Amino acid sequence: MKKMLLALFALVLLFSATAAFAADILVGVAMPTQSLQRWNEDGANMKKILEGKGYKVDLQYAENNVSVQISQLENMITKGVKVMIIASIDGSALSDVLAKAAEAKIPVIAYDRLIRQSPNVDYYATFDNFKVGVIQGKFIEEKLGLKDGKGPFNIEFFGGSPDDNNAFFFNGGAMSILQPYLDSGKLVCHSGQTKMEQIGILAWKSEDAQARMDNLISRSYTDKKLDAVLSPNDSLAYGISASLENNGYIPGKDWPIITGQDCDRANVKNMIAGKQSMSVFKDTRALASKVAEMVDDILQGKQPEVNDTKTYDNGMKVVPSYLLEPVFADVNNYKELLIDSGYYKEEDLK
């Protein structure tokens, strides 16, 4: 009993010392937009965890305006932040402001989106983005029975925002699974649009994905069945589903397989309703916790834990990275992954 009390007392002292250490330290958190659910949750989680450790937090959203984000980062530097956590809008547009951060000796952690063309990025924390695409590709492979030689099936491809480095990793992972089936003719893309420069949707906008899907249907699928749509995330999947519904597709009858990512509330509801097949779940609570650990280590003069020092070359350097594991949710396991874990409440998805 005495040992337990001493251990508890030591833990209290450690927490108090950490809180006292962090009390006057300002951490800057720059997020791209509040227009997508996931960034609202990322920002809120980051702020909550950092403040729980005793840090002061300057959380800013730039509403997908690069100039605004640069101005926000400049203001953070002026305010004297000790670390900057940045989810960039355009991963190649921050070189100058990060040079200013380096002059002020402010370490930079790239959050979920790699910052490119700058030597002044100290760490990168994200999920294994290539694996996200692999999961999506394998889902389509399994559901269509491609490994068993079934086919041919008709498929269309969507890509993420061309200014987001992650979009290329997602696409690369998915195509590592699906390209062989395109080459063999087991998958057929009637639009002929399979390259990122053809399929990318700027700023991940649902309405632009919907407009493109409308166009694909009217041009290529008035007399053909669409079997699958590769969508890299939920905002695109939402627009794709809206287009399919408007064009007379019926869930459970002729609805194609649609992939996604982020497990946004609206998309989980669509999964339950049969309007989306799956979504890759990236628990933003885990990502925020890992980044907060990095902040602690940096400010205490320690080397943050990383598990990848080869993959993420930003054009100027290979950025030391920590990759978390993504998993997929579908109608069969969403309750266990999302509700039982406390990520959502059951009423959130009604």
pLDDT band per the 50, 70, 90 thresholds, residue 36: confident
192 vs 189: CA distance, rounded Å: 5
Grouping H, G, I as helix, E, B as strand and the rest as coil, residue 145 is coil
Give residue 269's identity as a one-letter amino acid code.
Answer: K
116 and 16 housed in the same domain: yes
pLDDT band per the 50, 70, 90 thresholds, residue 21: low
Residues 6 or more apart whose Cβ sits within 8 Å of residue 317? 119, 121
DSSP 326: P
Using alpha carbons, list the distances in angstroms from residue 199 to 122, 158, 165, 172, 192.
32, 5, 15, 13, 10
Mean pLDDT, the chain, as a whole number? 93
- Would the pLDDT of 178 be above 80? yes
pLDDT band per the 50, 70, 90 thresholds, residue 3: low
The answer to whether residues 201 and 159 touch, using CB atoms and an 8 Å cutoff, is yes
153 and 275 housed in the same domain: yes
Q: What is the CA radius of gyration of the chain?
A: 22
Above pLDDT 70, what percent of the chain?
93
Is 180 among the domain residues?
A: yes
* Mean pLDDT on 67-78: 98
pLDDT of residue 17: 47
29 vs 241: CA distance, rounded Å: 33
Is 319 among the domain residues?
A: yes
Which pLDDT tens digit goes with each residue over 295-325? Answer: 999 999 999 999 999 999 999 999 999 999 9
pLDDT of residue 60: 98
The answer to whether residues 204 and 161 touch, using CB atoms and an 8 Å cutoff, is yes
47 and 154 housed in the same domain: no
Look up the domain containing 142 and give its range. Answer: 129-282
31 and 99 housed in the same domain: yes
249 and 133 housed in the same domain: yes
Concatenating the DSSP letter of every residue in 245-292 gives HHTT--TTTTPPEE--BS--HHHHHHHHTTS---EEE--HHHHHHHHH
- Would the pLDDT of 22 be above 70? no
Phi, psi angle pair for 192, to nearest 5°: 75, 5
228 vs 330: CA distance, rounded Å: 16
Last residue of a domain, one of 229, 260, 282: 282
Is 330 among the domain residues?
A: no
294 and 179 housed in the same domain: no
pLDDT of residue 11: 45
Domain count, the chain: 2
Strands (E) located in 167-275: 187-188, 228-230, 257-258
Looking up tokens 């519904």 gives: 245
* Mean pLDDT on 226-235: 98
251 and 149 housed in the same domain: yes
20 versus 138: the higher-pLDDT residue is: 138
Concatenating the DSSP letter of every residue in 300-324 gives TTPPPP-SBSSS-B-SS-BPPEEEE
The residues pairing with 110 across neighbouring beta strands, listed in sequence order, are 86, 124
* Mean pLDDT on 160-172: 95
* Mean pLDDT on 144-151: 97
pLDDT of residue 123: 98
- Would the pLDDT of 12 be above 60? no
271 and 296 housed in the same domain: no
69 and 197 housed in the same domain: no
pLDDT of residue 24: 86
* Mean pLDDT on 234-253: 97
